[in-house]
Structure 1
Amino acid sequence: MPVSHAVVSTTSGSRYINRLCKHWQHKLSVAHDEHQGRVTFDGGVCHMRAEAGALHLQLTAEDVATRERLEEVVAVHLERMANRDALDIVWQPAVT
C-alpha cells in the first residue's frame, strides 16, 4: 500500500485536526481527540498528529492514484480550514 507523509509548520495543529474531523464525520469514519485524528476515506486512511509547532500527516492508500487524489483532498480541505494562515503542505512518498 502506498504511503506518504507531510509535516506542516503550524501552532494550530490540534485546532485543524478538530475542524477537519468534524467536517468529515458526517460522511466518513472519523476518530479524533485533542492531539490526533484518523479519517477513513474510500481507498485510504489519513492519520493526523499535532505537536508543538507542527501537524504531521500520513496517508495510506490502496494504490498510487488514490494516494495522490487523497493528498489533494486533504491539502485542499486543510488550507480551507486554515483560512488566513498560509500553510506549506508538501507530501513525500514514504521510502520502503
Structure 2
Amino acid sequence: MLTAEAHIATDRPGRYLAQLCKHFDNKGRHLSHRPRTHTLPDLGPDQIQVEWTDSDGTLRLPWGQCTLQAVPGTLRVRVEADDRENLERLQELVSTHIGRFSRRDPLRVEWQPSGTSVDAPGEATVPPRQRHGGRTRFIVIGVAAVAVALHLALGGTALAHTPWTGWVVGFLVTVVVAKAALVGGLALHRHRSRIG
C-alpha cells in the first residue's frame, strides 16, 4: 500500500481536523445536497466512514484512507491507497478541502512520501531508518576501534621486546589494514544484502 504525509503548520490544527471530518461525515449522509463542482464522485452513504476525536480522525473511502492528527502547531495528515492514482486522488481531495476551509489564512499542504509502507495484516513493517539504523553503524565502529586498540597495544609490546622493530611495524600495519578492509567489506556486503 502506498502512503504519503503532510505536516500542515497551523495555530488551529484541531479546528481543521474537526472541520474536515464533519464535512465528510455530512457528505456521507447528505450526498444529494452536494454542489455539482464537488470533488467527491458518486458515492453511497455507506462508502464514507468517518471517526474523530479532538486530536485524531480517520476518513475511509472506497479508494483509500486518510488519518489526521492534531498536535500543537501542526495538522498531520497521512493518506494510504493501493495504487498511485488513488493516492493522488486522496491527496487532491484533502488539499482542495484544506484550501477551501482556510481561505482567509491559506494553509500550505506539501505532500511527502511517508518512508514506510503498509503491508498486509500479519506482515511486519519496519521503517528503513530502524532496520538500517545508526545502532549497527556504532557497533561496527566500536568493534573496529577495539581491534585497532588491541593491535596497537600488541604492537607496542612487540616493539619494546624485539630487535627487528622495522619488520614488526610493517607486519602490524599490514595486519591492521587487512583486518580493517575485511571488516569493512563484510559490513558493506551485509548492508547491501539487507537493502536488496
TM-score (norm 1): 0.94
Of 5-14 and 19-28, more deviation after overlay is shown by 19-28
Q: Which runs of 5+ in 2 are unaligned?
A: 29-47, 117-196
| Counterpart mapping for 1:1-96 below 5 A | 1-26=1-26, 27=28, 28-96=48-116
Greater Rg by CA:
2
Higher relative contact order (CA 8 A, sep 6+): 1
- Taking the aligned partners of 2:93 and 2:104, their CA distance within structure 1 comes to 19
Normalized per residue, the structure richer in helix is: 2
Normalized per residue, the structure richer in strand is: 1
1:78 CA displacement: 1.1
- Percent of aligned pairs with the same amino acid: 33
- Taking the aligned partners of 1:41 and 1:82, their CA distance within structure 2 comes to 23
- Taking the aligned partners of 2:104 and 2:86, their CA distance within structure 1 comes to 29
Q: Which amino acid is 2:92 matched to?
A: E
Q: Which runs of 5+ in 1 are unaligned?
A: none
CA RMSD of aligned residues (A): 1.0
Secondary structure in 2 matching 1:19 = helix
1:82 CA displacement: 1.6
Secondary structure in 2 matching 1:25 = helix
Structure 1 segments, 4+ long, off by >2 Å, are none
Q: Deviations over 1:43-84 (max 9, x none)?
A: 100000011100000001111110011100001001111231
